[in-house]
A = this chain, B = another copy of it.
Amino acid sequence: MTELHLPPKPGLAAGPGEFVFSVAGLAHGHIYGMTRGLLEAGATLGSVWDEDSQKVTEFLKAFPQGRAADSLEQLLEDPQVRLVASAAVPSRRCELGLRVMEAGKDYFVDKAPMTTLAQLEQAREAVRRTNRKYMVYYSERLHSEAATLADLLVRRGEIGRVIHMDGFGPHRLGGGRPDWFYQKKYVGGILCDIGSHQLEQFLYFTGSEQADITMARKANYAHPEHPEFEDFGDCAVTAPSGATGYFRVDWFTPDGLSNWGDGRTFILGTEGYIELRKYVDIASGRPGENAVYWVNQKGEFRFDATGQVGCPFFYRLIRDCLDRTETAMTQAHAFHAAELCLRVQAMADGL
């Protein structure tokens, strides 16, 4: 086994009350992960708002340190609040972000951060004007210790130069999804939605600002009761460096899987490759997430990253907001990834 010499896990980026964030928009469950990540890195939860007060009540059961805001206006006017986190319905995320930034606060939004190119242009313009941040929760990289370790391995040259990447992003559909989930005007499409994790990772791990779209496909293979729903999508991209990528996403996780999806990332380098089994290592007899495998000139390795490397994104995001730096994710990268997703979806849509 290669001695890993792991860096220390990130500590607290702020003391109590030093970095207060509020939450507005609870449509997607990702808001729980976003909130947990911020709290664990030292942020302080302020007020919480959603148009559905029942959702607010549920959320405050999980995070009793927060309080319900009387209105979105009240939340946005609170001078203590530095950042607003949101998992509103995707098509409404940009509009909310513009209001957040106009109110002088940074914005941290679930992916997809918007659903149209027109929204993206509005967001870019507002960032330039307000000098606020429009950061995106690309959780499959930013909130994954497996991805944190992969990043470390790539940076250390364990697999040489990255030449190709594959991503599989299967998700469990389950029952009880809200109506908006099945409507294209609210979600944007499967490639723009869950495909965004994959495209963001490709740009990140290949060190690319953008990529050419080689092909994009979508399908509704088995859900005719939801005619606008896309239950499968895939895409190939090529980076300016020549590095190639492919990913597929779907809503076909079977009931027998012990987690919500068998997400995989394969990073191929000139001297080896890495495989992340992010959420489940199927039928391995090894329960748990964040199984990192890699093979290089020295051998075959496996490392269980859970609890070992943390997710430095949240620490860095808080520091970036306080220090006005860009260590967690550059604004350019967040928007480049968003733009790529929208263009990939448009190609699959035949637009």
Contacts and interface: CB of A to CB of B under 8 A. Distances in A.
A289 to B, nearest CB: 15
A283 interface: yes
Interface string A256-299: 11100010001011111101000010111000000001011111
Given A256-B297, A268-B250, A232 B219 contact: no
Nearest to A220: B242
A114 B129 CA distance: 62
A164 B293 contact: no
A143 B43 CA distance: 57
A257 B268 CA distance: 14
Contacts of A272: 254, 256
B300 A258 contact: yes
B252 A236 contact: no
A250 B243 CA distance: 13
Contacts of A214: 215, 217
A19 interface: no
Given A232-B244, A244-B217, A254-B297, A270 B222 contact: yes
Contacts of A255: 297-298
A345 to B, nearest CB: 16
A267 to B, nearest CB: 12
Interface in A297-344: 297-302
A163 interface: yes
Interface in A150-174: 159, 161, 163-164, 166, 168, 170
Nearest to A235: B236
25 contacts: A159-B254, A163-B222, A163-B232, A164-B248, A166-B168, A166-B248, A170-B273, A215-B215, A217-B238, A217-B244, A219-B242, A234-B244, A252-B269, A254-B271, A254-B296, A254-B297, A255-B297, A256-B272, A256-B298, A256-B299, A256-B300, A257-B295, A257-B300, A282-B300, A283-B300
Given A164-B234, A258-B300, A282-B293, 8 more contacts: A166-B166, A214-B217, A217-B238, A244-B248, A254-B273, A256-B295, A282-B300, A283-B295
